[in-house]
Amino acid sequence: MEPQSLNAMHEHFYSVVMMMIQYITLVILGSASLPFIIICLVGVVSDYVEEMTRPARRLPEPLESPELHAHNVRAALADLDYGLTGGPANREMASSTQRA
């Protein structure tokens, strides 16, 4: 065989071997990453299904009736008002300081 034909065959075989190495690498990497992707997708789907099957949360019932709460707020505001305007709270303090 002539050297020119041997060189042409060598170049052809070299390109074929390089393509085979590329394909084998792609197959190995694909087969290694495919289970990871599947595990991630299964995890996301299981979280979604768990959230959808969980019963809805109920708001806690108030311990006091709203009327009682409004009464407490009004009483606190009235106490503050008496303290600022010199109502009965200040008169008691003034009388206690004068006695001493």
DSSP 3-68: HHHHHHHHHHHHHHHHHHHHHHHHHHHHHHHHHHHHHHHHHHHHHHHHHHHSPPPPPPPPSS-HHH
* pTM of the entire predicted model: 0.38
pLDDT of residue 10: 79
Banded pLDDT at 22 (limits 50, 70, 90): very high
Each residue's pLDDT tens digit, 46-100: 999 988 887 777 776 666 665 656 667 777 777 777 666 665 555 554 454 445 4
7's tokens: 């060189």
